[in-house]
Amino acid sequence: YGYYDLAADVLAENPALTYSCLEPDEYEFLNSLILSQASPEEGVKQLAQLARKHIEKLRTITKAIQEGRKNRDKKGLKIALKEFEEALDEYIPVLMAEAKIYWEMEDYQMVEHLFRQSAEFCSEDERWRLNVAHVFFMQEKFEECIRYYAKRCFLALAENMAKDMVVIRDDTYHNILNFLDRAARHGKHIETVVSPIDMEKIIEVQNAAAQAAADAVGESSEFGRDENNPNNLGVAAAVKSAAAAAAVAAASINKKKNRTVT
């Protein structure tokens, strides 16, 4: 809430409790936040130094995760994954505090630089993604920011507004509409992806299956077997099914290629 002066007084008046109730990293983090109010440059230096400690810890745990997967050590892997989540939760506030200082200076390029450096560990974290979207938006990199802004956020907001569970200010409402208008302009010619499945690969496999089935029918005929035999009829049906599936898949690809966001 920005009560940095009060926090500084509490820490100064209760040194015994400070060292007994706070971990060294927690104390260093709070001290960096307090310092950044008087000297942003010094605050950034301390936060950057603290961030490096967290990154080293994350790298160590990442190696343990890789070893656990390599050795198929389920128990060790489970422990390492839990440690990674805890370490990431400790690192994210430090990263965001450092980024906030540059944000308030309107140095958005530096904020982006910090986030790119942390992508190795944070790229799957929703908090990180949201703030990356914010910094792209502030730099008017709309194509980049659109993919980070989750549609469900706007849908959830619209749903709660419709239920009268949430009320927002008029200026916030207009800002959202302006953002959506800009997103629509930049996303108009971006192709939609119906499914991440590689349909061309599916067609290739289906055609191979159909050919194999056709070959099987041909072999049955060559050996003088009755083509009206139920087994052969089943194979023939499989050929037709595979061919039909391939045709549908091909049509899906053509349809997807011609589809754009409107």
Q: What is the 3-state secondary structure (H, E, C) of 147-165?
A: CCCCHHHHHHHHHHHHCCC
User: What is the rounded CA–CA span in Å between residue 245 and residue 23?
Assistant: 61
Tens digit of each residue's pLDDT (9 = 90 or more) over 165-183: 878 888 888 888 887 787 7
> Residue 118 above 70 pLDDT?
yes
Which regions of the chain does DSSP assign to beta strands (E)? none
How many Cα neighbours within 13 Å face the side chain of 132? 24
Q: For residue 69, what are its two tokens? A: 């997967």
Please state which of the ranges 15-29, 74-88, 138-152 shows the lowest mean pLDDT: 138-152
Query: Residue 223: what pLDDT?
Result: 41
Model's pTM, two decimal places?
Answer: 0.56
262 or 233, greater pLDDT:
233
Is the pLDDT confidence value at 242 over 50?
no
Question: Nearest Cα to 102, choosing from 48, 159, 31, 163?
Answer: 48
Amino acid 60: pLDDT: 95
- Is 151 or 111 the better-scoring residue by pLDDT? 111
The one-character DSSP state at 224 is T
Q: Give percent above pLDDT 70 in the chain.
A: 68
* Model confidence at 215: pLDDT above 60: no
Count H helices, E strands: the chain? 12, 0
Every domain of the chain and the residues it spans? 1-140, 141-192, 194-255
pLDDT recorded at residue 111: 95
Q: 93-121 burial string, b = 16+ CB within 10 Å, else e?
A: ebbbbbbbbbbeeeebebbbebbeebeeb
pLDDT, tens digit (0-9, with 9 covering 90-100), for 72-100: 998 999 999 999 999 999 999 999 999 99
Mean pLDDT rounded to a whole number for the chain: 76
Instruction: Give the residue-averaged pLDDT of 194-203.
Output: 50
Q: What integer is the mean pLDDT of 140-168?
A: 75
Distances (CA, A) of 195 to 155, 159, 185, 256: 21, 26, 23, 10
Q: How far apart are the C-alpha atoms of 135 and 103, rounded to whole Å?
A: 8
Give the confidence band of 59 by pLDDT, cuts at 50, 70, 90. Answer: very high
The answer to whether residues 148 and 133 touch, using CB atoms and an 8 Å cutoff, is yes
